[in-house]
Structure 1
């Protein structure tokens, strides 16, 4: 009771408990308590106060703040009243007060629950009404009643926002209301609903990736309405994740959160040393964050970029100060350096994310660089993991390795085969590869390019109106990589469930609308397919089948490819020189990866 407010609320509670005792006597005697029973009432008062005070202290009821009272607090209040009533009854019966009406002992807690619960409800109503009378911006919530309910609870007590209506994608919810906020119509009437409610802001409460979000974006852009959404769970942990924010592309294309085997991943990494190559890249840095989250004792970060390593060091030092992290500038094409790092720290798990991945750059002038980094660099990382006794080695592959039409994809397919060949040499290490498509916002991806073009005023360049790609968010990709590393047999290739493919032109349109523009203001132009580029990507080769795994978003690819002679591959790439003949290199690559079909 050190706080005056807590002391006042405790006094109010005990006063209401006594009032409930008096009302119970009053009701027992038909609203007229005989004079001879009044002494019994006064004799029971101190015991009732003591019993309830003890119950409230034990259950922690007096730690509650009345303006935030909800169902959990009311359940705890009910428990404390039951304990107080039981203690009061036990004391009164033990004292054998003559002719004490026992029905009072049953009615008193019921009346107390009504009085104490009602007092809290009235107080919260008054506080919310006072806050609601502030200058908060009026907004309309977009989503079903279930989704809107979650958003309205999050906005309770906010002085910045005032929900005034709901637009639901479910037709049968029209005309209903929740928390006194009415459903004003369907998604097709978003503009009219906002005009009726005098709101210039719409808050999308529908799940990430749902059609309702995309329809809301279209309607909001046409009506000039600002579109917001609630922060993702990971953003609540950050200082800026405390209220509605602008809708981002991940919110429109994102999917349900990945369900991880938390216990298994904690057993694999907790207290262990983990090494990540390409740690400064988009996927590599997210892998480092996830590894830190699962309690690794030591994280060894390897990247060829000094600036990328510096940025990663600054972030992890701030977010995970308890973790020992070591930052190496090293190239996976240097086997001695990589092996020395692995032997020194003896990682239990190695994630190999270092690679060249930009298709057009690797298709012309840099073909041999793709082979040296993606194939030979992968071999060096796999051997270093096997030689140092790592339990797991996970290589990041790509959907472009399936029936590749470009050098980058063919080099990653050859890297998969090299990992499978290396697995036979180191049986104590579990080697797997993980294939997935494009990652939203990763370096070199289409999204940063479109964003830059929009900022310049356009046009946004798309290679072909029918080109499609699979997309997932960086956290989802990294989490599924972790999960795949925990599963399966050595040498297997995992394929991630990438969901439905997205037309790149639709992606461009969404980004234009998210920026607050229309296609008339920011035009889209078509430039034609680039060398080696497909209209669509595949996740499985023609001669492959998949088998399910215990995880719904992971499948295992089964292929009948003959494993290559790793030594012969290395000798040829070393002998190819600094600038090999283009035709010779592609012909050799076709011999190693028969499904590779170059396109001009």
Structure 2
């Protein structure tokens, strides 16, 4: 039904309702027994009264509004129209000396409000019920498109042309106010960003598709923040670089992820510098099957390394990664080495036989609570495993050794952080006596990595909750796996030996807010659909992490997201003597003795809450 026809129908409905209200006012006033005198006056005046009201309704643009848009604003407009039209009708009745009881005017005003306003608002209610019923029966999702540009138009066209998708584009929202009122393939542009919540409620929207591939990450974050208030599921179109490659199809839509809320711009790499650094090199990645190690291998493969050696103790991940690299990078030779970095002889054998040019040392135990319960295993793997790989690299005169470290090594409060600080100290002392360039790269939490909080929250949400947060005020630094790995590779090109590189992690994130955002992005309401429980800080856990020691200075580099810390070096022989004492305690000592020794080697280490 077109707009003109709906206006005509609405006009005639109002004629009926105006006269019904007039009749009921008298009927109610005289309890069903209307005197003949008033019947005659009604008959003589109903046409003029009806005409007055219709003219006022038309003049005040009641017929410009469509029923499905009926709202509180329109109800206010109706009240004003009824008030004015009844006042003018009163003047007319006074002029013709129609002596209606005063209560009639009050009743007439009330009935006009009920009938004229009710007709519009009831239509909206019925339409909403109908849409919800239809949506449930046909499993069709009602969709809002954010973005009235080319990308949004393509999405709308594809949604309309493909019924199998079961998506119905209902409205478009765009921050360009000039586009409001237009239509894209028949879908109206009805508002701007600040209207999203109201439009979602009014239009029964199930999902929002963000189709602004030209927007930067910070702008996307702001859009997502506004959209998530609606509690709709959110999907997003790929970035402009992927859009240019033709990935603007509905097939490339993905659900909004927590990374989109960080607002971090893509890393700009010095591709030429990295290419010279990695091209035709043999590169060993310890812990290569893990989340960070595997992404490191993928990124290295893009720069045409001669051979990628993936060393890992867990065979399944390493096997899957090798098959992926062979499929995507056919010209690159990959080799899988199943070995433990704790096995000194095996590591020496691998380094001697394969002679890598560059070593990225990623392998480590990193789960803080587990390492608090198992300090000996943390030291065996993190400290002595690193020493094994570093010594083997030195013996074979590997060109460059890059240690992946953590912000937990700064003023550590847990065994894992202390063990990684010793690793930093060792490779710095080694750099002074070795032909190999030893460096470390220190960064915070990586979204989506094994053991990170995001997969844990996601699993808890999928199970219906509760989501567990250790403390309301816990904050952490986060970056994506891709960003962290790209910066690690870039830092490697800058290394001259002995540096501890620090990655710019951006603004810290409150873990509680992270949990709330993940719940909303999953289509639920925090504390209503999914409870959040505060469990208390675990042994060794900080409220916040640091990236720099008090005694460390900081230097900028040619890359805006990479800095260099300059901590005090410890002489190699003195450090080695302390580490040998730690080795003896691994065999003969108790957990408490190991913790005391850690504190001796790392003076900034604070003992855990619960000593073993």
The TM-score with structure 1 as length reference comes to 0.70
Q: In structure 2, what is the equivalent of residue 575 of structure 1? A: 584
Indicate if the aligned counterparts of 2:428 and 2:569 stay in contact, CA closer than 8 A. Answer: no
Q: State the secondary structure of the residue aligned to 2:432.
A: helix
Give the 5 Å matches for 1:56-135: none
Q: SS at 2:586's partner residue?
A: coil
Residues in 1 aligned to 2:537 and 2:481: alpha-carbon distance in whole angstroms: 26
C-alpha distance after superposition, 1:428-471 (max 9, x if no partner):
x2221001100111111111111121122111110000100011
- List per-residue Cα deviations over 1:122-154 (Å, max 9, x = no partner): xxxxxxxxxxxxxx97643336x7xx5555467
Q: What is the distance in 1 between the residues matched to 2:455 and 2:249?
A: 22
Q: Deviations over 1:18-46 (max 9, x none)?
A: xxxxxxxxxxxxxxxxxxxxxxxxxxxxx
Distance 1:309 1:367 in 2: 27
Q: Which of the residues 481, 489, 494 maps onto 2:488? A: 481
2:340 — aligned with what?
331
- Look up the match of 2:3: none
Superposed displacement of residue 571, structure 1: 2.1
State whether structure 2 residue 416 is matched by structure 1 residue 408.
yes
Deviation for aligned residue 1:201: 2.8
| Partner of residue 228, structure 2 | 218
In the TM superposition, residue 253 of structure 1 has moved relative to its aligned partner by 2.4
Contact 2:177 2:191 in 1 (8 A): no
CA deviations 1:175-230 (Å, max 9, x no partner) are: 48697876533333213334666753311235445442442343231xxx331101
Structure 1 distance, partners of 2:582, 2:280, is 39
Q: Which residue of 2 aligns with 1:188?
A: 194
Contact 1:208 1:250 in 2 (8 A): no
CA distance in 2, matches of 1:570, 1:305: 28
Kept after mapping to 2: 8 A contact 1:303/1:331: yes
Distance 1:423 1:173 in 2: 62
Alignment-derived partner of residue 590 in structure 1: 599
Tell me the distance in 2 between the aligned counterparts of 1:153 and 1:322.
Answer: 37
Determine the C-alpha separation between the residues in 2 that align with 1:273 and 1:440: 28
- Indicate whether 1:316 and 2:325 are aligned: yes
1:455 pairs with 2:455: no
Q: Say whether 1:383 aligns with 2:391.
A: yes
User: Do structure 1's residue 201 and structure 2's residue 207 form an aligned pair?
Assistant: yes
Asked if structure 2 preserves the Cα contact closer than 8 Å seen for 1:304 and 1:331, the reply is yes
2:382 pairs with 1:374: yes
Structure 1 residues 269, 527: closer, same or farther in 2, change over 3 A?
Answer: same
2:502 aligns with one of 491, 495, 505: 495
Q: 1:167, 1:193 within 8 Å by CA — same for their partners in 2?
A: no
- Describe the SS at the equivalent of 2:252: coil
Equivalent residue for 1:537, pick from 540, 545, 550: 545
Shift of 1:516: 1.4
- Mark the runs of 5 or more structure 1 residues left unpaired by the alignment: 1-135
Which shifted more, 156-165 or 414-423?
Answer: 156-165
- Does the aligned pair in 2 maintain the 1:368–1:579 contact within 8 Å? no
Distance 1:287 1:384 in 2: 21
Please say if residues 188 and 219 of structure 1, whose CA atoms lie closer than 8 Å, have aligned partners that are also in contact.
Answer: no
1:110 equivalent in structure 2: none
Q: Which moved more, 1:207-216 or 1:234-243?
A: 234-243
User: Structure 1 residues 432 and 184, CA, compared in 2 at 3 Å: closer, same or farther?
Assistant: farther
Aligned partners of 2:557 and 2:178: how far apart in 1?
A: 39
Bigger Rg, structure 1 or 2: 2
CA shift for structure 1 position 318: 2.1
- What are the equivalent positions in structure 2 for 1:29-48 lying under 5 Å apart? none
The more displaced of 195-204 and 461-470 is 195-204
Find the partner of 2:556 among 541, 544, 548.
548
TM-score, with structure 2 as normaliser: 0.69
Instruction: Report the CA distance between 1:301 and its aligned residue.
Output: 0.4
2:525 equivalent to 1:518 = yes
The residue number in structure 1 matching 2:366 is 357
Report the equivalent of 1:142. Answer: 146
- Spell out the pairing of 1:208-247 with structure 2 (5 A cutoff): 208=217, 210-221=220-231, 225-231=232-238, 242-247=251-256
Cα separation, 1, equivalents of 2:202 and 2:257: 26
